Structure formats: C-alpha cells, structure tokens
C-alpha cells in the first residue's frame, strides 16, 4: 500500500469506530451544549471582549475532552497490530488529521451555540468561522500529541491539561488577537501575518509530532 | 586542579560580580538616571544572568534528552532531569529577583508583562515535566516519555518567547515593534554601556558555570546513591 493510502485507511478506521460507538461523539456534543448552556445561565449575553475570551476558553476544554480519548481507546494489543501493519508516522498523521476534523466540527457546533445563546456579536461571521476552524485545528494538533504522551503514561485527561495548558498559551493568545479582528468592522492590519505565524506554529507541531512519535510508540 | 579550573573561574567571576556589581559607579547621563530605576539598576547584574543561565541549562537538558532518545543510557536521562531541575531553580530565582525589582520600579511585583508571563509559563512547563516523570514507574519508559515531552516543550517554548513579547507592550526593555528598543524580545542594546557590560557578561558566565557545577554535584550524588543500593 502507498503511504497516502495507509493514512486514509487509518482515518477510515477511526471514522468507522466513531460511527459504531456513536455515544462518544454525541457525548462530546452534549458536553459542548451543556457547558455553553451553563455559561449562558451564568453570564447571560456578555460584551464582545468577554464573549471572545469565553469562546476560546471553552474551545480549550472541548479540545481536551474530544482529543483525550483518541489514544486511550486503542488497547495495547490493537496498538501492536497497527504497529505491524502501518508505520508510526502514518499512525500519528492519521490521528492528527482525524482530530483536526473532529475539532472543526466541534468548533462550528460551539460557534453556532455561542451565537444562539450568548448573543450575536460577530461583525464578520464568515471570517470568524474560518478563524474558529483554524483555532480548532491548532488546539487539536497540540493536544493530540499530548494525548499520545498521556496515554503512554497511562494517565487521564488531567495530566493532559497539566502538560498542555502552558504550551497552548501562545496559540490561544494569537487566536484571541486574531479574533478581535472579526469583532471590529475596520480592517486591521497584520491579520495575514498573525495567521501565518499560527500556521507556522501548526507546521512546527506536526513536524515535532512526526519526529517524536516513533519514540513514544515502541514499548 | 586542571580539571577544576572552571569551578575556580566560576567562583572568581561571581565574587567579582558581587563586589563590582554593588560598588561600581553607575554611568551618569543615561536615560534612567533621573528615574526611580537608577540605583536599582544594579539588580540587572543579578536578575538578567538568571535568565541567561536558565536558558543555557534547559538547552543542555534538551541536548541530553535528544541523546537519550538516540542511545538510552540512564545517565543521559539523569542529566536531562538534573539540568531541568537547576533550570527551574534559576527560573524561580529570576522571577523572584524580577518581582523585587518590579515592586520598586513599576510599583507592583506582578504586572502581567509578557516576559513575566513567559517566565511563569517556563516554570509551569518544567513543573509539568517533573509531574510527568514522577507519574511513571518503569525507568526506561520514564526516560523516553519525559525526553519526548522535554523536546516537544522546548521547541514550543522558544518560539513562544520570540512571539509573545513582540505582540504586546512590555515594560521590559525590548518589546513591541516600533516601541523604544522594540522589535527585539531580548535586551535593548542602547541601555547597556561599556562599564556595565564589563560586569554583566562575566556575571552571565559565572552563573552558567555555577549552574553546571550544581547540576554535576546533584548528578554525582544520584550516581552514588544508585551505587549504594545496587550493590546491597
């Protein structure tokens, strides 16, 4: 099998698992919905700056919960099987891609719920949707790799949060800075530059994950 | 004696730093002469070298982590952990000396300055590294997973301290593009005159050597302990 095919096959496997065990997917959707509902009860409809801050914080927690299970669901025996049929690089790339896709869906869901419950504050909804997707991808990449570390250490999502929160700060700060642009009708300069920095960080994380995952993988 | 020259050098440089740093006449006619910064500027010789030596030892820790992944010898893992521990201590000292300084010149020990945030992040990252290490019992696995996290964290941390200070206004010298001394996340070159440089760089070298010395002592202690228990 060619390399691309292996990655696609592994993503298909994850999708199939997701379809067969739909409770996990709906579990995360329910987590998103109930968190935002509680937030709505607590905050009502906050001003844009608070809205923005809350949105990215909620994304962070959704990401930890959505991504945490991606490495924990595979048992040791099954991991050994994947090891024998696919390379470590294909495996981590497929996980990164799958989690990025999952986070895009979750970001859009939570954006819709935020719009619905916490007030429609966006000036440029299309742009903000794009930023939310980009942000979701960035968060998912970092936390996917940390999930792999936490899974090897036989730990839960709590360790992931400890390991990940300090490391995710630059992405979150960049995202907040970028998303303030979507709230103002004046076009601010530096948007493309900051998006490029974010994309650069994403590429860095992917490269690190591909280089380092083979060392995590073998027992 | 020949092998210990760097330890002697470290002591000499640090003694020089303490005497000269506290006694040297601060250059007159500089921008900060009239500000509340003037005499407290002496803290520069003690606060800033903490960060230089912290960066140096966590870089050494990174090198040992990479070495461990290439060739899993226990001593590489110990070195990586010990250098990271020394880096954490230096980071705490840097934060502390900075907080005292900030209290006098900026009015409060914590000002949400990007460099303070960066320093706090570094501490959190390395504390997380030790939590991860201690959560693992299998020695080989502990070394490998901790090394992977160490490398991953280092390569995210370094771009972060390059990006973060450029994004927001900073009270430190250097900062946002266009601000005074801006564009450079490190030192603002103009605030350092030759007399201060002659104390600052020896101080940096002295502190780095001291950090390495402390780490090797910790390493030797650990090796002795290991030997004691393995022979019984």
Are the beta carbons of A95 and A73 closer than 8 angstroms?
Answer: no
Q: Is the pLDDT of residue A48 over 70?
A: yes
Residue B67 is encoded by which pair of tokens? Answer: 């070495």
| pLDDT at res. B184 | 44
Q: Please give the residue range of the domain that contains residue B135.
A: 14-231
Given this model, what pLDDT does residue B180 score?
42
**A195 inside 8 A of chain B by CB:** no
The pLDDT of residue B82 is 93
Is the Cβ of B157 closer than 8 Å to some Cβ of chain A? yes
Q: Has residue A83 got a pLDDT over 80?
A: no
Please say whether the beta carbons of A137 and A105 come within 8 A. Answer: no
* Residue A71 pLDDT greater than 80, yes or no: no
Domain-located, residue B3: no
ipTM: 0.86
B182 assigned to some structural domain: yes
Q: Which residues of chain B have pLDDT under 70?
A: 1-2, 27-38, 166-171, 173-192, 232
Burial class (CB in 10 A: 0-12, 13-18, 19+), B225: exposed
Q: Is the pLDDT of residue A211 over 80?
A: yes
For position B182, what pLDDT does the model report?
Answer: 40
Q: pLDDT tens, A97-140?
A: 999 999 999 999 999 999 888 888 777 788 889 999 999 999 99
B104 inside 8 A of chain A by CB: no
* pLDDT confidence tier of residue A24, bands split at 50, 70 and 90: confident
Give me the number of domains chain B comprises: 1
Residues B146 and B124: their CA atoms lie apart, in Å, by: 15
* B156, B162, B169, best to mutate vs chain A, most A CBs in 10 Å: B156
Contact A50, A176 (CB under 8 A): no
User: Is residue B6 in some structural domain?
Assistant: no
Chain B neighbors of A163, CB-CB under 8 A = 128, 132, 149
Are the Cβ atoms of A208 and B152 closer than 8 angstroms?
Answer: yes
Cβ neighbours of residue A119 under 8 Å, at least 6 residues apart? A45, A46, A51
Q: Quick one: pLDDT at residue B36?
A: 64
At residue B185, the pLDDT reads 46
* Residues from chain A contacting residue B76 (CB–CB below 8 Å): none
Q: Is the pLDDT of residue A52 over 60?
A: yes
B9 domain-assigned: no
- B159 part of contact set with chain A, CB < 8 Å: yes
HEC assignment per residue over chain B: CCCCHHHHHHHHHHHHHHHHHHHCCCCCCCCCCCCCCCHHHHHHHHHHHHHHHHHHHHHHHHHHHHHHHHCCCHHHHHHHHHHHHHHHHHHHHHHHHHHHHHHHHCCCCCCCCHHHHHHHHHHHHHHHHHHHHHHCCCHHHHHHHHHHHHHHHHHHHHHHHHHHHHHCCCCCCCCCCCCCCCCCCCCCHHHCCHHHHHHHHHHHHHHHHHHHHHHHHHHHHHHHHHHHHHHC
Q: What is the DSSP string of A139-179?
A: HHHHHHHHHHHHHHTT--HHHHHHHHHHHHHHHHHHHHHHH
Q: Which residues of B touch A216 (CB under 8 A)?
A: 144-145, 148
């Amino acid at each position: 099998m060619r390399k691309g095919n292996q990655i696609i096959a592994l993503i298909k496997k994850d999708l199939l698992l997701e379809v067969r065990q739909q409770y996990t997917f709906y579990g995360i959707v329910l987590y998103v919905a109930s968190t935002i509902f509680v937030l709505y009860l607590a905050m009502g409809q906050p001003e844009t700056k608070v809205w923005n801050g809350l949105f990215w914080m909620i994304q962070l927690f959704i990401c930890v919960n959505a991504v945490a299970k991606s490495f924990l669901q595979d048992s040791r025996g099954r991991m050994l099987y994947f090891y024998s049929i696919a390379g470590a690089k294909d495996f981590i790339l497929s996980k990164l891609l799958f989690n990025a896709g999952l986070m895009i869906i979750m970001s859009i869901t939570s954006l819709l719920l935020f719009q619905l419950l916490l007030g429609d504050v966006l000036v440029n909804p299309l742009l903000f949707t794009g930023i939310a997707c980009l942000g979701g991808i960035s968060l998912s990449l970092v936390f996917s790799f940390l999930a792999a570390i936490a899974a090897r250490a036989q730990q839960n999502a709590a360790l992931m949060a400890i390991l990940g929160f300090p490391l995710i700060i630059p992405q979150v700060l960049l995202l907040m800075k970028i998303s303030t642009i979507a709230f103002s009708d004046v076009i601010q300069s530096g948007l493309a530059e900051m998006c490029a920095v974010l994309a650069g960080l994403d590429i860095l994380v992917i490269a690190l994950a591909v280089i380092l995952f083979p060392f995590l993988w073998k027992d | 004696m020949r092998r210990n020259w760097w330890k002697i050098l470290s002591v000499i440089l640090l003694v020089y730093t303490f005497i000269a740093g506290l006694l040297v006449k601060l250059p007159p006619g500089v921008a900060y002469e009239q500000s509340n910064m003037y005499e407290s500027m002496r803290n520069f010789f003690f606060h800033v070298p903490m960060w230089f030596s912290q960066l140096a030892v966590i870089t050494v820790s990174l090198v040992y982590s990479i070495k461990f992944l290439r060739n899993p010898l226990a001593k590489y893992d110990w070195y990586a952990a010990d250098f990271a521990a020394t880096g954490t201590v230096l980071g705490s000292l840097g934060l502390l000396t900075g907080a005292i300084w900030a209290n006098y010149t900026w009015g409060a020990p914590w000002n949400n300055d990007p460099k303070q945030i960066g320093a706090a992040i570094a501490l959190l990252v390395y504390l997380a590294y030790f939590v991860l290490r201690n959560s693992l019992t299998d020695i080989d696995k502990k070394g490998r997973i901790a090394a992977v996290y160490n490398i991953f964290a280092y390569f995210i941390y370094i771009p972060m301290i390059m990006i973060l200070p450029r994004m927001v206004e900073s009270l430190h010298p250097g900062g946002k593009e266009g601000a005074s001394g801006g564009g450079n996340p490190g030192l603002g070159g103009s605030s350092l005159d030759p007399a201060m440089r002659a104390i600052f760089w020896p101080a940096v070298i002295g502190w780095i050597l001291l950090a390495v010395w402390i780490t090797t002592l910790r390493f030797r202690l650990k090796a002795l302990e290991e030997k004691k228990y393995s022979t019984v």
